[in-house]
Chains A and B, each alone.
Chain A
Amino acid sequence: MSESEMPLFLELIITLFLIAGAIIALIGSIGLARLEDVYMRLHGPTKASTLGVGCVLIASLLYFSFLKGGLSVQEALITLFLFVTAPVSAHMMAKAALHRKLKCCDQTRTGPPNE
């Protein structure tokens, strides 16, 4: 099946997923660039970027499932892998930041333990 035979609603859904994913991932990267300390910066990429890339992967799943006439599992595999590993790496990075006793910004009420 070719792209020209794609029904309109499927094309709309794929486009919506692509645009939403790009905007969400961009918001995550803006958060990485602009927030003040490490503990805040961890929030942007680990949640928003993962969700944005997940949206793009779902769009790709729909597109190739239609194009090849069958469920394309590989994209679902990448999405699952990303969603499983993102919290783990975020936890490891937060632990590393606490271990190095990095300063948080002054308005944070409960800072990292300082013993």
Chain B
Amino acid sequence: MIATVIPFVTGLFCIAVLLNLYRLAVGPDIVDRILALDTLMINSIALIVLADIQMSLGILFEAALLIALMGFVATVAMTKYLLRGDVIE
């Protein structure tokens, strides 16, 4: 049952990624683009975890953890740059 439902779930997440890419391309301001990148990171975590379940590996969670960490740090750095004009003062 899980093996049959995973392609469907992956398709839904791929549609979500396409919508994020649309906002990344269109976004009228840079804050929209940062938000789109942040959401892209979150959705890619879900895609990695789904690939992990599909292949029954159980080793890809490290990549997911790394992407979660990098996404948060990147978002904070970009917003900090917008707020202060500098990342580390």
List the interface of chain A (C-beta within 8 A of B). 3, 11-12, 14-15, 18-19, 21-23, 25-26, 28-30, 32-33, 38, 41-42, 45-46, 49-50, 52-53, 56-57, 59-60, 63-64, 67-68, 72, 74-75, 77-78, 81-82, 85-86, 88-89, 92-93, 95-97, 99-100, 102
Nearest-neighbour CB distance to chain A for B39, whole angstroms, equals 4
Main secondary structure of the interface of A (DSSP, over half): helix
B65 contacts A74, CB within 8 Å? yes
Interface positions of B (Cβ within 8 A of A): 1-3, 5-6, 8-9, 12-13, 15-17, 19-20, 22-23, 29-32, 34-36, 38-39, 42-43, 45-46, 49-50, 52-53, 56, 58, 61-62, 64-65, 68-69, 72, 75-76, 79-80, 82-83
Decide: A99 and B65 in contact? CB cutoff 8 A. Answer: no
Excluding A49-B42, A96-B83, 19 further A-B contacts by CB distance (< 8 Å) are A11-B1, A14-B2, A15-B2, A18-B5, A21-B9, A21-B46, A26-B15, A33-B22, A38-B32, A60-B52, A74-B61, A78-B45, A78-B61, A82-B68, A85-B68, A89-B75, A93-B31, A96-B82, A100-B30
CA distance A38 to B46 in the complex (A): 24
- On whether the beta carbons of A25 and B43 are closer than 8 Å, the reply is yes
If A60-B52, A93-B79, A96-B31 touch, whether A53 touches B46 (CB-CB below 8 Å) is: yes
Which of B6, B15, B19, B35 has the most chain A CB atoms closer than 10 A to its own CB?
B35
